[in-house]
Amino acid sequence: MSIENAVADAGCQDRQVRHERGQRAVFCGLTSIVWLHRKIQDAFFLVVGSRTCAHLIQSAAGVMIFAEPRFGTAIIEERDLAGLADMNEELDRVVNRLLERRPDIRMLFLVASCPSEVIKLDLDRAAQRLSANFAGSVGIFSYSGSGLDTTFTQGEDTCLASLVPVLPEAGRDAPRSLMVVGTLADVVEDQFARLFRDIGLENVHFFPPRDSQHLPPVGENTRFLLAQPFLTETARTLQRRGARHIPAPFPLGEEGTTGWLQAAARTFGVPDERFEAVVAAPRERARRALSAHKAKLEGKSIFFFPDSQLEVPLARFASRELDMTLAEVGTPYLHRQHLAAELDLLHKDVVICEGQDVERQLDRCRQARPDLTVCGLGLANPLEAEGLATKWSIELLFTPIQGYDQAGDLAELFARPLNRRGRLEV
């Protein structure tokens, strides 16, 4: 099954990328609901799918920590499969019941899944139909989180892309504005907002917003910075509305954060002296925070299984700021353009592997015996049992890791598994 071909894939970065196809151990896009629902606080995510989808979200997300989460599943049953017309009625009934139960919901996402895609249930049309019924009170959207189309973080991409068409229009005479695209923890968002203010940027918006009533405007005078590397479709739809992408590394670590902020500062004509003056203190803090962890991590090898598409920026951070060596950098998908600045910073010999054949990758990992393996939840304990220290990649999504003041926390995430091993005598 695996079509494994290490292609001499000479692009602008002139580096080898191994492409792999086979069994993938990656969550599907539905799982991104778990952080999206926390970010957009008046939104509800309704997966239209099977019992498997409901079980996935419950198991993968540990749903039961929420009193009543703002997401759920409309489970397709045997009788729904009998006829599609009936199924649309069923969906309307479920949505009506849901919105009656939760009058606080302002934005509802119908999330397509593998089964709903295969039976070609048209959720875009359902969303339009329902939008008409709830006009003015609830905005109803649809996007795909199906494992047929998306892995893990790509669900955020398809979700945000579905919102781009309804962003308010910023006209030609609108002042130049910066849009930061990608879900960030509120604390990180606030830190960035302060830094942008201090370097003199006035019109800064974050997308997604914390609540659905504050969608940022977009237009020809909008410049956007990606805060996450997995937002391919969102970037494309924003560009279609006239916004322009600011190429930058991602704001991980001291170096990435500086590069990211500086890209915005230069775009908006902020004098270098002013920029340096504003970031000097937080940069220094970040370096200080990193130094303690660096002492423990330098020279250690790290292996990334593909998961979130954060792998390349994380690998850059680990190798350049912590002096770790990169055994393999797996990523489900490599967007060369968005990652150009990151790839420029990575050593040419680093093995980047796009896609996955999990059994072969496990073989390589065992062969390499890295000091630390970053992998999904399903692989972590078996690798620990084989004597390899692991870090759950999902933590890198759920923990605030971006920006200067989180650089130390990010390093600590890598250091902790090794630290723990050092403590245990059993």
Partner 1 sequence: MQLTVWTYEGPPHIGAMRVATAMTGVHYVLHAPQGDTYADLLFTMIERRDKRPPVTYTTFQARDLGTDTAELFQAALAEAYERFKPQALLVGSSCTAELIQDDPGGLAEALGLPVPVIPLELPAYQKKENWGAAETFYRIVRTLAGPRQGQERPKNERPLANLLGPTALGFRHRDDILEITRLLDSMGIGVNVVAPLGASPADIQRIPDADFNVVLYPEHALSTAQWLERAFKQPYTKTVPIGVTATRAFIAEVAQVAGVSADVTERTRLPWYSRSVDSTYLTGKRVFIFGDATHALAAARVASKELGFQVVGLGTYSREFAREIRAAAAEYGVQPLITDDYLEVESAVRDSNPELVLGTQMERHVAKRLGIPCAVISAPVHVQDFPARYSPQMGFEGANVLFDTWVHPLMMGLEEHLLRMFREDFEFQEAPSHLGAAPQAPKEAPVAREAAAATAQAAAVAVAARPAESSGTAAAPVWLADAEAELRKIPFFVRGKAKRNTERYAAEKGISNITVETLYDAKAHFSR
**14 Rama class: left (phi>0) / alpha (psi -120 to 50) / beta:** left
Give whichever of 285 and 335 is closer to partner 1, judged by the CB atom: 335
Q: Give the span between the Cα atoms of 36 and 240, in whole angstroms.
A: 24
Q: How far is the CB of 168 from partner 1 (least distance, A)?
A: 32
Which tokens belong to 379? 């692989």
Radius of gyration (C-alpha) of the chain in whole angstroms: 22
If DSSP codes are grouped into helix, strand and coil, which group holds residue 28? strand
Binding site for partner 1 (CB under 8 A): 1-2, 22-31, 48, 50-52, 54-56, 58-60, 62-64, 67-69, 71-78, 80-81, 87, 90-91, 93-94, 97-98, 100-102, 114-115, 117-119, 146-149, 151, 359, 376-382, 384-385
Q: How far is the CB of 34 from partner 1 (least distance, A)?
A: 12
Q: How far is the CB of 267 from partner 1 (least distance, A)?
A: 36
Give whichever of 118 and 292 is closer to partner 1, judged by the CB atom: 118
- Residue 32 CB contacts under 8 Å (≥ 6 apart), including other chains: 145, 152, 153, 154, 155, 156, 159
Comparing C-alpha atoms, which of 78, 92, 157 is closest to residue 338?
157
Give whichever of 147 and 216 is closer to partner 1, judged by the CB atom: 147
Q: How far is the CB of 26 from partner 1 (least distance, A)?
A: 6
Give whichever of 115 and 219 is closer to partner 1, judged by the CB atom: 115
Q: How far is the CB of 63 from partner 1 (least distance, A)?
A: 7
Q: How far is the CB of 418 from partner 1 (least distance, A)?
A: 20
Return the bridge partners of 178, or none: 204, 223
Give whichever of 123 and 261 is closer to partner 1, judged by the CB atom: 123
Give whichever of 93 and 214 is closer to partner 1, judged by the CB atom: 93
Q: Name the residue type at position 250.
A: F
Which tokens belong to 93? 């009934």
* Run of H or E residues at 418: helix 407-423
Comparing C-alpha atoms, which of 89, 59, 90 is closest to residue 75?
90
Q: How far is the CB of 382 from partner 1 (least distance, A)?
A: 5
Give whichever of 73 and 234 is closer to partner 1, judged by the CB atom: 73
Q: Give the span between the Cα atoms of 130 and 227, in whole angstroms.
A: 32
Return the bridge partners of 19, or none: 5, 354
Q: How far is the CB of 58 from partner 1 (least distance, A)?
A: 6
If DSSP codes are grouped into helix, strand and coil, which group holds residue 317? helix
Q: Name the residue type at position 357.
A: D
Asked whether the beta carbons of 215 and 166 are under 8 A apart, the reply is yes
Q: Name the residue type at position 112.
A: A
Give whichever of 154 and 406 is closer to partner 1, judged by the CB atom: 154
